[in-house]
Amino acid sequence: MSSVIIHLDRNINDDVSDFEYLFRLFNQHRDHQDKHIRFQFTGCEFLRPNAVAFLGGMTRWLRHKNNDLVYDLEGLPNNVRMNLEQNGFLHTLGIGSSPWDGNSVPYREDHTYRSDFTDYLKERWLGKGWLSVSEDLKRYIAGSMVEIYDNGCNHARSPIGTFTCGQHFPKLKELKLAFVDFGVGIPFNVREYLKTPFITSRDALQWAFTPGHTTRDKLDNLARGNGLKLLTDFMDANNGKMEVYSDTGFARVGRGTPVFQEREVQFHGTFVQVSLKCDSRHYTLPSEDDFDSQEDLF
Amino acid sequence: MNYNVFEHIGAYCITLDDGQKVYAAIHPELKAHERVELDFRDVEIVASPFLNAAIGQLLRDLSPEALNTHLKISNLSVLARPVLARVIENAKTYYSNPEYHEAVDRVIEKEVNAVNDD
């Protein structure tokens, strides 16, 4: 077995350039097979939850390809190690102590759909008192977000499942949740569904964000496609932000005009990050239709 | 027929498979012009994949008028109602005109190809 070192040599925030740094790192190493791989973190003093979720996925991907992986814990800066222990990342990989309660939304991996993901969203993401949000609204947000998870588990064709991690940033007054699968990506599914290879990833993402559009209804013959729209409405109404990276497409909704871009760095999978403001105001639902009348239901 | 969703599915109504179970139970009743009450008491979270399968799918072969007459949905939380409204709106468009979806796809495909050719 030959040896490879994967070196995280900088802090990883959650700007576009940080995501692209992670994607480049993955693209550079994704084809390794039957190798000794060592993760080194010298130069990396800080990891945001997007990086934690992504590293978890990258680890599982490389193990899936029969590589032998080692994390260089000796060289791990203290604050990075503490972060990775507190959110349960190292423990999940079998190389660290049990996680403890803090500002993290715990790291988790799901190889198949698990119904306790809803509890995780409700209690570990939304239920810690970081957001001024009613029980009902908590259920609404969790219900919308769990559809993204359902897609990742059941439709993304990710051989290693999905990876989630979050963090509350008290100084920034922000709550983040990062979710990644290593499947075929939204643009691939859209191209396959529309039977054309010519759609750019940007256009494919824009298509997927359009209400009622889904790549799945030909399979199950059902009208589908509401999750992204529900989350978009919620972000718009509450100064939240959702970013999606898939293939070379990038989408950002909330906090201004929606942005759809074609990027240079490709990621064969889908990465969703949701950022919510933790200010003192109560969150609201984008629109509450009056449903008291049964006559108008259908 | 009174169908208690919590008893059959639980507090979380998320997946298409669970929605399909509800559909399988209520669809024959509605087809036979029987009254059905779908009771969401104690259900905590309702997501659109579930609603698409359980309720949206009814519009495949039942008219909105028939559903308004025979299907009563009770105790659905206030915040799940807009989700159901969107599901119904989407399903009405989709099932009322089988050509609709493919037509939309064809138009979008042409537009996207035109942009790419520029």
CA distance B100 to A12: 45
- Judged by a CB distance cut-off of 8 A, whether residue A142 touches chain B is yes
Rounded to a whole number of angstroms, the distance between the first and last alpha carbons of chain A is 63
Phi then psi dihedrals of residue A114, to 5 deg:
-125, 130
pLDDT recorded at residue B78 = 82
Please tell me which of the candidates B67, B94, B105 has its beta carbon nearest to residue A223.
B94
Cα of B108 to nearest chain A Cα, Å: 8
CA distance B13 to A158: 24
pLDDT recorded at residue B116 = 47
3-state secondary structure of A83: helix
Fold of A3-297: Heat Shock Protein 90 (3.30.565)
- Check pLDDT > 70 for residue B114: no
pLDDT recorded at residue B110 = 54
Burial A4-24 (b: 16+ CB within 10 A, else e): bebebeebbebeeebbbbbbe
- Judged by a CB distance cut-off of 8 A, whether residue A203 touches chain B is yes
DSSP per-residue string spanning chain B: -EEEHHHHT-SEE--HHHHHHHHHHHHHHHHTT--EEEE-TT--EE-HHHHHHHTGGGGGTS-HHHHHHHEEEES--GGGHHHHHHHHHHHHHHHH-HHHHHHHHHHHHHHHHHHHH-
In chain B, residues with a C-beta closer than 8 Å to the C-beta of A286 are 82
Cα of B86 to nearest chain A Cα, Å: 7
B100 — pLDDT class (breaks 50, 70, 90)? low
Chain B residue at shortest CA distance from A142 = B45
- Check pLDDT > 90 for residue A292: no
- Check pLDDT > 70 for residue B107: no
Amino acid occupying residue A256 = G
CA distance B106 to A273: 31
Residue-wise pLDDT tens digits, A96-122: 888 888 999 999 999 988 989 999 999
Cα of A48 to nearest chain B Cα, Å: 29
Q: In this complex, do B68 and A203 lie within 8 Å of one another by their Cβ atoms? A: no
Q: In this complex, do A298 and B15 lie within 8 Å of one another by their Cβ atoms? A: no
Amino acid occupying residue B97 = N
Which whole number is the average pLDDT over A33-58?
A: 94
Tokens of residue A207, six digits: 């298509």
Cα of B22 to nearest chain A Cα, Å: 15
Which whole number is the average pLDDT over A224-243?
A: 80
Please tell me which of the candidates A118, A199, A227 has its beta carbon nearest to residue B45.
A118
All structural domains of chain A with their residue ranges = 3-297
Q: In this complex, do A226 and B83 lie within 8 Å of one another by their Cβ atoms? A: yes
Q: In this complex, do A198 and B116 lie within 8 Å of one another by their Cβ atoms? A: yes
Higher pLDDT, B114 or A21: A21
* Residue A23 neighbours by CB under 8 Å, 6+ apart: A245, A265, A266, A267
What is the value of ipTM here, to two decimals?
A: 0.73
- Check pLDDT > 50 for residue A50: yes
- Check pLDDT > 50 for residue A63: yes
Higher pLDDT, A75 or B51: B51
- Judged by a CB distance cut-off of 8 A, whether residue A33 touches chain B is no
Q: Give chain A's length.
A: 298
Cα of B4 to nearest chain A Cα, Å: 18
- Judged by a CB distance cut-off of 8 A, whether residue A229 touches chain B is yes
